[in-house]
Amino acid sequence: MPSVVIEVKKDHGQIKERAIINGVFNAMVETLHITPADSTIRLIVHQAHRYQADPDLAQPELHTHINIDMFEGRSLELKRRLYQNIVEKLEELDIPRNHVEILLREVSKENWGISGGQAACDLH
């Protein structure tokens, strides 16, 4: 049940921003085998003066920061495949591989409230 926030510095327009969301989602479906009901994905476009990216990047305006919160327990190899899959999907949208940063945080089920305020560990 990943929760994802994608942060960008540039307004890419509605079509490309939807493609970015879909790219990250499709990478998670392929790698983590989630369903549409298993995730929430938000894309936030920051005003340029409120987003500092590495100025040495070829196109710092394309820096894309992805935060993924998900239940703990997946293997390192699966996480590596997820990172690569996300980068490949975004590269298809002309976002350079080295402009994508992914922060994955694992959360125990007791620390995630879902389904009307229940701890995820209490659900089967």
Range of weakest confidence among 27-31, 78-82, 120-124: 120-124
pLDDT at position 1: 80
Q: What pLDDT, on a 0 to 100 scale, did the predictor assign at position 111?
A: 83
User: By residue range, what is the domain housing residue 109?
Assistant: 3-122
pLDDT number for residue 115: 80
Residue 12 confidence (pLDDT)? 96
Total tally of structural domains belonging to the chain: 1
Question: How many residues are listed for the chain in this entry?
Answer: 124
What's the predicted TM-score (pTM) here? 0.91
**pLDDT of 62 higher than 90:** yes
Q: What is the 3-state secondary structure (H, E, C) of the chain?
A: CCEEEEEECCCCCHHHHHHHHHHHHHHHHHHHCCCHHHCEEEEEECCHHHCCCCCCCCCHHHCEEEEEEEECCCCHHHHHHHHHHHHHHHHCCCCCHHHEEEEEEEECHHHCEECCCEEHHHCC
Tell me, what CATH number does 48's domain have?
3.30.429.10
Q: Which two tokens stand for residue 103?
A: 């922060």
* Cα gap 70→96, rounded to integer Å: 25
* pLDDT at site 11: 96
Higher pLDDT, 38 or 77: 77
- Would you state the pLDDT for residue 123? 83
Strand 100-107 to 40-45 pairing? unpaired
Instruction: Compute the distance between CA of residue 119 and CA of residue 122 in angstroms, rounded to an integer.
Output: 5
Mean pLDDT computed over every residue of the chain: 93
